[in-house]
Structure 1
Amino acid sequence: MKPAASPEDLHKLFVEALNLGDVDALVALYAFDGFLMARSGPARGIRAIRKALSEYVAMKPTIQLTTRRVVQAGDTALLLADWRFHGTTSDGGNVSTSGTSIEVARRQPDGSWCYLIDLPNGLD
């Protein structure tokens, strides 16, 4: 999967990768020192983020996401999106949830963008 050329691309690429179950593509969207507030708790750093994203992928999910707002200042951007997630737990139970996410992204030296902070449920 190609890198995010803009902050808005992060949302598009995240949806594509999660719906395909591609953990490597998901992890590539995050900064090495990034932060993800996962279902299982805070994930700090790329190893913890990989573990958390693997748990989401294990649910064989589908996600829909609508970008509400992107505010960019230089090499930093704030993103806001509404999302719906549907998946299956390891014991066969259905998971359906939705929320409004807040993310902070930063531009990398190569010009691509990555998530630095990902709060799927915003400030809740």
Structure 2
Amino acid sequence: MDGTDLKAAREPEDLARLFNERANAGDVDGLVALYEPGAVVAVGEVVATGQAEIRAFYADLLARRSTFPAVDAPPALRNGPVALTFARLPNGNVSVEAARQQADGTWLWFIDQLKLKPLAPSKA
């Protein structure tokens, strides 16, 4: 896939499903297409701002990981053209994203933060 002619998110809840499909297909451009041009993605200590940095982040991530499990994504919390989306990953990490409705009625993320679950202290 090359990110062109992709299904668009018609509802904010579509974004997590589309993310999972595109990540599992290895479609970096498709993942980037889920974000507004000036979006910010924060994962742990890594912060990627804008589509070029987001593309580099996902290219690196997909090069290291081959599959992405389905996530538990409850309904979005909406306030007009803005919505918070959430996803709980099987490993306990939680992702919270802010999405905005675009002029054509579709939805894109503009902030995406994955909160990494702290590692349990090692037993010495």
- Separation of aligned partners in 1, 2:36 and 2:29: 13
**Given the superposition, is the C-alpha separation of residues 122 and 7 from structure 1 closer, same or farther in structure 2, using an over 3 Å criterion?**
farther
Find out whether 1:114 has 2:123 as its counterpart. Answer: no
**Total equivalences in the alignment:** 112
Aligned to 2:95: 101
| Structure 1 length-normalised TM | 0.82
SS of 1:115's equivalent in the other structure is: strand
- Bigger Cα displacement from structure 2, 9-18 vs 66-75: 66-75
Aligned to 1:35: 40
Query: 5+ residue gaps in structure 2?
Result: 1-5, 119-124
Aligned to 2:13: 8
Who wins on radius of gyration, i.e. which is larger?
Answer: 2
| Structure 2 length-normalised TM | 0.82
Deviations 1:19-68 (A, max 9, x none): 11000110000010100013561001111111111111112332221102
- Separation of aligned partners in 2, 1:98 and 1:55: 22
- Bigger Cα displacement from structure 2, 97-106 vs 13-22: 97-106
Letter of the 2:74 counterpart = R
- Separation of aligned partners in 1, 2:116 and 2:107: 20
Q: Which runs of 4+ in 1 moved over 2 A?
A: none
1:22-101 paired onto structure 2 within 5 Å:
22-38=27-43, 41-63=46-68, 64-84=70-90, 97-101=91-95
- Bigger Cα displacement from structure 2, 107-116 vs 56-65: 56-65
Structure with the bigger percentage of strand: 1
Query: 5+ residue gaps in structure 1?
Result: 85-96
Q: Percent same amino acid at aligned positions?
A: 35
